[in-house]
Amino acid sequence: MHDVVRDVFKGVVSGSALISTPEQLNQRVEDAFKVCGLSEHGYANDYQALALPMLRYFNSLREGHTPEEPKALKLTFNNESVLVLPDDVLLRPDGKRTIRKVRTGHRPKSTEDIEDVEAAALILAAKEAFPDAIVEIVFLSDQKIEPLCMTPTKLENRKVKLDNALDDIRSGKFPPEPSIRSCPGCPAFFVCGPVPKGVLQKRF
């Protein structure tokens, strides 16, 4: 269901599937459910009842703004360069940009789970591209939006963590982290193999 919500709001953001009426929204959700195979699910109607308010809320947050196509923002530090792609970019009436990260789930109880390396990369890249930009994070399941900001100390710590992660990637340091949740879904199926050749690209 969350994949459906994500696909629909991405269509709105890209401009390929704009929604201006309740009928259009209902149709978009029905079509998305068919594409992903959820339309035949026994709880399809319940899932749609959850998805529709989330997407209505997403649309309401864009009212009064001029949408812009999200483009990768470049974050540079030391000798590193990272591209960060926001979920939504809007131009406010006062000329400032609002750059948003959109999550379909609920807000984590711990702020630390929000203020992760990915969030720090978005904040830093947004400020580098647009110094007066407002960075926000949206939780569609809760229908909540809040500023995405960190103290200078936290941002610096996250930057160091990102820098270390990039060093580890280049040196091939990927120690296995066994998990009863992630291992069964891994293509290696519990058998951790060698690091493949080539360049690994991570989109934050």
57 pLDDT more than 80: yes
Quote the pTM value. Answer: 0.81
b/e map 23-60, b = 16+ CB within 10 Å: eebeebbebbbeeeebbeeeebeebbeebbebbebbbe
What spatial distance separates the first Cα and last Cα of the chain, rounded to whole Å? 23
Q: What is the DSSP string of 98-144?
A: EEEEEESSPPPSSGGGTSSHHHHHHHHHHHHH-TT-EEEEEETTTTE
pLDDT, position 17: 85
pLDDT at 187: 62
**pLDDT of 181 over the 80 cut:** no
Tell me what the mean pLDDT of segment 188-199 comes to: 62
Percent of the chain clearing pLDDT 70 (strictly above): 88
Q: What is the residue range of 11's domain?
A: 2-61
Same domain, 81 and 147: yes
177 inside domain = no
**Residue 130 domain-assigned (yes or no):** yes
Q: Of the given ranges (76-90, 136-150, 165-179), which has the lowest mean pLDDT?
A: 165-179
- Tell whether 50 and 74 lie within a shared domain: no
Mean pLDDT rounded to a whole number for the chain: 88
Per-residue confidence band for 200, with pLDDT thresholds at 50, 70 and 90? low
Q: Is residue 186 part of a domain?
A: no
Count up the domains in the chain and report the number.
2
- The pLDDT of residue 172 is 74
pLDDT of 179 > 90? The answer is no
pLDDT category at 180 given cuts 50, 70, 90 is: confident
Q: What is the pLDDT of residue 165?
A: 85
Answer yes or no: do 26 and 45 share one domain. Answer: yes
For residue 190, is it within any domain? no
More confident residue, 52 or 177: 52
Q: Three-class SS of residue 16?
A: coil
Same domain, residue pair 57 and 139: no
Question: Are the C-beta atoms of 96 and 88 separated by less than 8 Å?
Answer: no
